Amino acid sequence: MVPPTPPGRVLQLVSSAGLFGAERVLLELSQHLSAQGWGVEVGALRAPGMERIAVVDRARELGLPTVTFPCRTGFDARAMARIREHVRRGQVDVVHGHGYKSNIYLLLALGSRSPARLVSTCHNWLTDSLKLMLYELLDKLALHQFHHVVAVSPPLLQELAAAGIEACSMIDNGLDLVDRLPAAERGSLRASLGVPRGAVMLLAIGRLDRWKAYDRLLEALARLRRADLHLVLVGDGDLRADLEDQARRLGVEGRVTLAGYRRDVGRLLLASDIFVISSRKEGLPMVLLEAMAAGLPVVATRVGAIPDALGDGQAGVLVPAEDPGALAAAIEALAADKERRAALAGAAQRIHAARFSRRAMGQRYIELYRRLLTKGR
């Protein structure tokens, strides 16, 4: 018996060494596409010496087909040829790039007249160096030739429009929280993180880079008058040693745990009392959506798509960026008010279910793919 033809075949392509927001969107979308009968493959550009690719490893754990394309530093014509041949032989209908390098390689490999529809999701541009500014410029030039570009937040959609990219729209990121934490394990998990019994656990998750503004978060922690607040900071990055030194200088090293990279993010969210985002710049952080799904009250800076996601304060407390005093005041007020924490948590879960679930996101991408494929044929 001949197997049924899938609605379409999609290659999701990324160039990445980690498992961050863009990679997690890719995986959530791929799972939904697969569940809906689409042929989906998770692809990655493999840099020289890279033995493991986190997003590929995770895709395999989830039972998703994967492919990697060896890619030298700079522009690798052979890698482009491999991509072109893979798309042709696999009869791929939609090639979906995530990030500037994958976008550029897809365009150079396939061209804007490719039978496969070229789609990209613009997750964020963080340009703090001349090199990254150049990559952003090249990315925007490439995106002009794509059949459609998706922004994950209103500010990014405005930036695409300002760059003259007309075929663009916005789709909210989405995910499902699959982790569970039995009540009997909550206390032991908190204790393993150095959280004193009875303390209010603050949780922040992200790369330890300047954009997350964890220096401001530590300053806020030092301003808190309550001694029963303990911060758990999850993530790794170049600024770890600097943050450890800062915590010692501020005298808060006993009230903060730098937990490093963790894979049990869902369990950590369920073990916490308040989720904190101190960022200077953001798109739509996936970890914010996880916190909302977990029913965790949020204190966050008013940047990127965060205010929109939180209903402009209906589901979280918003403070200005770069203001440790306001951040400290908001944390302290929320820590003292259990009823408000419960109300914010309930509102966050309702917004998540309506806008930010895996299904809500996946269905919008499927509608986009179908529209592009119908137009292409």
CA–CA distance, 321 with 217 (Å, rounded to integer): 10
Q: pLDDT tens-digit profile of 339-362?
A: 999 999 999 999 999 999 999 999
CA–CA distance, 293 with 264 (Å, rounded to integer): 15
The answer to whether residue 331 scores a pLDDT higher than 60 is yes
6-15, 53-62, 120-129 — which is least confidently predicted?
120-129
| Structure tokens, 183 | 């009540």
The answer to whether residue 1 scores a pLDDT higher than 50 is no
Same fold, 9-175+357-376 and 183-355: yes
Type of residue numbered 52: R
| Structure tokens, 196 | 């004193």
* Percentage of residues of the chain with pLDDT beyond 90: 76
Q: How far is CA 163 from each of CA 22, 118, 152, 166, 247, rounded to the nearest angstrom?
A: 21, 18, 16, 9, 41
Q: Residue 126 has what pLDDT?
A: 62
The answer to whether residue 335 scores a pLDDT higher than 90 is yes
Q: CB under 8 Å to 283, separation ≥6 — which residues?
A: 21, 123, 124, 152, 153, 155, 156, 304, 305
Supply the pTM of this predicted model. Answer: 0.81
CATH number for 183-355 (one of 3.40.50.2000, 1.10.10.60, 3.30.1360.70, 3.90.1640.30): it is 3.40.50.2000
Q: What is the largest CA-CA distance in the chain?
A: 71
Q: Residue 2 has what pLDDT?
A: 47
Structurally, at CATH architecture level, domain 9-175+357-376 sits in 3-Layer(aba) Sandwich (3.40)
Q: Residue 50 has what pLDDT?
A: 86
Q: pLDDT tens-digit profile of 73-132?
A: 878 899 999 999 999 999 999 999 999 899 999 999 998 778 899 999 998 766 666 776
Across 220-227, average pLDDT: 93
| Structure tokens, 319 | 């403070």
CB-based burial label for 143 (10 Å; 0-12, 13-18, 19+): buried
Domain boundaries, given as residue ranges, for the chain: 9-175+357-376, 183-355
Question: Strands 229-234 and 200-205: what pairing?
Answer: parallel
Q: pLDDT tens-digit profile of 150-192?
A: 998 888 899 999 999 999 999 999 998 877 888 889 999 999 9
